[in-house]
Structure 1
Amino acid sequence: MYGDLKPGRGNKKVERGKAKYLGGNGRKTTGISKRVYRQNLKKIQVVENGSVVTRRVPVRLIRSGAIIKPVATDPFALPDHN
């Protein structure tokens, strides 16, 4: 509904040494640790099937305009009678 909310997976690598093209004997990997890339989720009100509900939505979808937010109206505004 609001994109894939599952976190991505990857590895974080730590290296030491000087690269061969810089005159060293190459990079040495000293540690590889698994990590999780979590989505930037924000809890906002969205319009679903004509009603307003609160959902956790990725900020990427909010910025792209894929999420329809409820329109706030002024509580003391008088209707226009033209």
Structure 2
Amino acid sequence: VGCYWLMDAIASHVLHLSKKETFAGCKLVKAKQGAELVIDDGNGNVLAKQNIRYTDFPLDSMRLYACWGEERWIIMLPSEY
């Protein structure tokens, strides 16, 4: 089971953030058959949201972090941040 679609969804949002944003918290929460992806600035300010109509993602929720690394966004697990 792959979750490339989650990386793609996160990337599609962080690529369009303001240049002043260098950090983003990314949380996926399952709800029934779908899920909601919320991108925030780490201080509770929502930067983007996406409703996902269907997913077979195996976890009830997942938290990732995205940080600007001078040339590109880097998506990390909580243990890597």
TM-score bracket for this pair, using the shorter chain length? under 0.3
Question: Which one has the bigger helix percentage?
Answer: 2
Per the normalisation by structure 1, the TM-score is: 0.23
Query: What is the TM-score of this pair, normalised by structure 2?
Result: 0.23
Structure number with greater Rg is 1
